Structure 1
């Protein structure tokens, strides 16, 4: 199965990651201790209940060092698995397996952690009608992968970067001289999607009158959100954002907002507990 992801160069990522780990001398421990022709069998498994993400990328690390390695993926990204579930079986050159192990596990642990946290938030929103969104609060260089992981966990991607939609915030408004003027400038520049952040209900009508295509309702409590959604009246999609927690997201989703965006999905997800055990063959 070939892994492809728009905007992501898997070969370059794997190469750069391995170079970072190997340096100029390579895996000196494995080279000194493990015979060059030794072979291992390994099993990657989850020690906790998780939502899986990143197995295809882990596979690429192992194949980069042993193209003939036999790899059997036992689940697919996006799967929810119980603690103790085997995720992947591998058989190949022992040195290659040991050398690629850390890079492969780091990737799967991190991405599965993001997917697992995302799934918890998405589950809380079920039945509310609201859609969970991620944000740009990602680790530098890992945005495409982390946003892939949020999709595996049940979220939808917000902006991928500063280039695919305008988001007018308070600093933009301050420099432009007002919400209406900021929106006018964005539309005049030919931008089709113009999101306007509002933190007060009295900013809604000016933003809509100026031509905003979505309103980001920032740091509003559920009663205020409910009133804002009523005022908007379905004229544009609405997005609740700011300080959303697992214990508050359902009440936020029940206010009638179209979207709820959560920076914690990528900013604060703990790594999943995934291990890889080898036996000599």
Structure 2
């Protein structure tokens, strides 16, 4: 497939990617989400405008966003860790199971169509948003995160769903930690540490999943589009620390409401896409 554009269109395209990258990085730092979810929205709209076939559009959006999520999450995680807002014990105890979940998600991505991947967003994001909107300090499942089978199972679920959503695990980890009596700032900081665990095997998995795919944009490796990943990543990495700074200046309730609104927007956008294609 050949995609052509005039010089003016190229300038607008680069500007849009840079703007999307800034938004991605800022929100990644603000919510500890790795930025991939925002990048999925930006890239999906971009590839729609470029007439990338619907059969691979969501796959390339998610795969490319995983690169953005990985690089942005590394920066966000480093910034949160410097502020002492990361519980490394939680990350270490769930890490291997997260990676196994990522492998399963990448395998599904190789065989599933785009609507299946959009459906993951539509089903899961509103549940997380509901908890953010209506949860309060009294809502908790226990005094601390349980051990035993809970961490392996939850870690695998986080890896599986996060790979298909390209969200870095922040949605699931921060919500879970909040329900187990952890401060919201620590929950967000720790969630940012799951981004690299998901991003590294996730990127490799989407390269493998799309290696022989037909209809991907030029300069793509598997389901990873290199120009989109590069431009959005650079802008997002530079913007992530500003999001972290704002996160630590906001109240717990303000962060929860803003996070919930973001989740609902993404869910509605993909539901509309499923219904209109």
TM over 0.5: no
State the structure with more CA Rg.
1
TM (norm. structure 1) is 0.26
Greater helix percent: which structure?
A: 2
TM (norm. structure 2) is 0.26
